[in-house]
Amino acid sequence: MPRCAGSKPDGSPCERIVPGSQSYCYSHDPDRSDERRRNASRAGKSRPNKEIQDIKQSLSNLAEGVLAGSVDKGVGAVVSQIYNVLLRGVSVELKVREEQELEQRLEELETALQAREEGSRWG
């Protein structure tokens, strides 16, 4: 069965099985480096990630305000509750996205597996 011709960051060979028509897996295919970059930057800058960062920053500012006495404890408690609800909502959104990505990878794997099975049947 064909294995990917690429190598891992540590220099050892990538051992992923690839469809017979390809020499590289998704991570190492030079033809798909642009696609990879696009996907990676999309994941890094995705809205939920940014939102979580913003909410965490706001919560941390709020905590500092309460500790310093510039924010009323009662107000701090209510606002932090609201932020927590927001955080939960954004986390769920992020999880759904991650699941969609996993599904996509699974499909790629199934395609590769199918190609392998066809290869062994006819080759």
d(CA 7, CA 106): 21
Q: Which is nearer to Zn ion, 3 or 97 (CB)?
A: 3
The least CB distance from residue 25 to Zn ion, in Å, is: 4
Identify the bridge partners of residue 13 per DSSP, sorted by sequence position.
Answer: 7
Please choose, out of 2-10, 35-43, 93-101, 114-122, the segment that lies near Zn ion by the rule CB under 5 A.
2-10
Q: Which is nearer to Zn ion, 25 or 55 (CB)?
A: 25
Query: Is residue 112 a contact point for Zn ion (CB under 5 A)?
Result: no
CA distance 17 to 93: 32
Give the single-character DSSP code of 14: P
Cβ 26 to Zn ion, closest distance in Å? 8
Beta bridge partners of 7: 13
Q: Please report, to the nearest 10 degrees, the dihedral formed by the alpha carbons of residues 85, 90, 96, 97 taken in order.
A: -170
Considering only residues 8-37, where is the footprint of Zn ion by CB under 5 A? 14, 16, 25, 27-28
User: Is 66 a binder of Zn ion (CB under 5 A)?
Assistant: no
Q: Is 55 in the site for Zn ion (CB under 5 A)?
A: no
Which residues would be at the binding site for Zn ion (CB under 5 A)?
A: 4, 6, 14, 16, 25, 27-28
